[in-house]
């Protein structure tokens, strides 16, 4: 197998003849942190929907760790190691952060331990480490409903990591967060990127600048360009696409 975790060839998704994804080619290396940006309607969410099996392509190929994903259901693809974080946090509000993480660990690794109601000592270590990584040690044992929006986002990223996916897909993790919370989520993703493959879809340009190494710009369902944040920011095609759309809707890229 080559070092690619994800390879997408000539992907097209048509909705009643409208191509939300149009002959898109993309690949990502194992261990990479990739940010995907693009104006509204560029096809970013559809792209994630195809990777997770929620939407099946009209034509094209999607391979994960060298394996063709098209025959598999959304659930099977999740079990194969692709974890997705949706925009809105989906944590159990009445449970504590620690309990939320225990549940996520248990669901995916050790169903028996959760049936008998005890996390194994190894899991406790993992959960303590995760609580530290997501910066919630001091709030580990209060109900999650008392967390701020940013803390809930970090908890949900922790819950995703607890499932040990090989590839983490994160959809607009800082929408609606304060600047401080945005920086916290950025630092968390950077820390996780040291030993995970992560794809982040994002609009917030400050945030993209904070975390981006390799950036892919989508436009009208295709890859417009790829490169470092500096390369992408100075690409005339990208400037045109961003400046050609209303400023209040799409933050300027430069």
Any residues with CB less than 8 A from the CB of 75 and at least 6 apart, and which? Answer: none
Closer to Mg ion by Cβ: residue 44 or 154: 44
- Looking at residue 56, the DSSP 8-state letter turns out to be -
The correct pick among 12, 27, 45, 63 for binding Mg ion (CB under 5 A) is: 45
Q: Cβ of residue 193: shortest distance to ligand ADP, in angstroms?
A: 22
Name the minimum Å distance from CB 239 to ligand ADP.
18
Q: Which does 46 bind (CB under 5 to 8 A by kind): Mg ion, ligand ADP, none?
A: ligand ADP
Binding site residues, ligand ADP, CB under 6 A? 15, 18, 20, 38, 40-46
Cα separation, 128 vs 101, in Å, equals 10
**Range list of β-strands (E), the chain:** 4-15, 18-29, 33-37, 59-64, 67-68, 82-85, 167-171, 197-201, 214-219, 222-227
Which does residue 42 bind out of Mg ion, ligand ADP, none, counting CB within 5 to 8 angstroms by kind? ligand ADP
Pick 103 or 175: Cβ nearer ligand ADP = 175
Query: What does the alpha-carbon distance between residue 41 and residue 243 come to, in Å, rounded to a whole number?
Result: 15
Residue 44 vs 139, nearer CB to Mg ion: 44
CA angle in degrees (0–180, nearest 5) for 76-78-82: 135
41 binds, among Mg ion, ligand ADP, none (CB under 5 to 8 A by kind): ligand ADP
Instruction: Tell me how far apart the alpha carbons of residues 171 and 84 are, in angstroms, rounded to a whole number.
Output: 8
Residue 173 C-beta: closest distance to Mg ion, Å: 13
| Tokens describing residue 216 | 């892919």
Reported as type and span, the H/E element at residue 205 is helix 205-211
Using the minimum distance from each CB to ligand ADP, give the nearer residue, 30 or 56.
56
Identify which of residues 52 and 104 has a Cβ nearer to Mg ion in the complex: 52
- Name the binder of 38 from Mg ion, ligand ADP, none, CB < 5-8 A by kind: ligand ADP
Give me 132's structure tokens: 């530290």
Select from ligand ADP, Mg ion, none the partner in contact with residue 222, using the beta carbon and a kind-dependent cut-off of 5 to 8 Å: none
Chain residues in the site for Mg ion (CB under 5 A): 44-45
């Amino acid at each position: 197998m080559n070092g690619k975790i994800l390879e997408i060839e000539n992907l097209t998704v048509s909705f009643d003849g409208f191509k939300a994804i149009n002959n898109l080619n993309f690949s990502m290396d194992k261990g990479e942190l990739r940010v995907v940006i693009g104006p509204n309607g560029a096809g970013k969410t559809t792209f994630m929907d195809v990777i997770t099996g929620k939407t099946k392509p009209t034509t094209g190929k999607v391979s994960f760790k060298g394996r063709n994903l098209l025959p598999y259901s959304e659930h099977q693809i999740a079990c194969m190691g692709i974890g997705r974080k949706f925009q809105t946090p989906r944590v159990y509000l009445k449970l504590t952060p620690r309990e939320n993480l225990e549940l996520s660990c248990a669901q995916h690794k050790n169903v028996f331990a959760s049936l008998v109601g005890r996390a194994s000592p190894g899991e406790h270590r993992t959960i303590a480490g995760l609580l530290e990584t997501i910066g919630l040690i001091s709030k580990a044992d209060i109900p999650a409903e008392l967390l701020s929006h940013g803390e809930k986002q970090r908890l949900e990223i922790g819950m995703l990591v607890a499932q040990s996916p090989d590839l983490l897909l994160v959809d607009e993790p800082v929408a609606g967060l304060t600047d401080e919370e945005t920086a916290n989520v950025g630092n968390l993703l950077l820390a996780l990127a040291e030993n995970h493959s992560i794809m982040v879809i994002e609009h917030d340009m400050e945030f993209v600048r904070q975390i981006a190494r390799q950036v892919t710009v989508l436009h009208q369902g295709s890859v417009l360009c790829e490169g470092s944040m500096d390369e992408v920011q100075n690409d005339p095609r990208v400037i045109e696409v961003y400046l050609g759309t209303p400023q209040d809707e799409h933050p300027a890229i430069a």
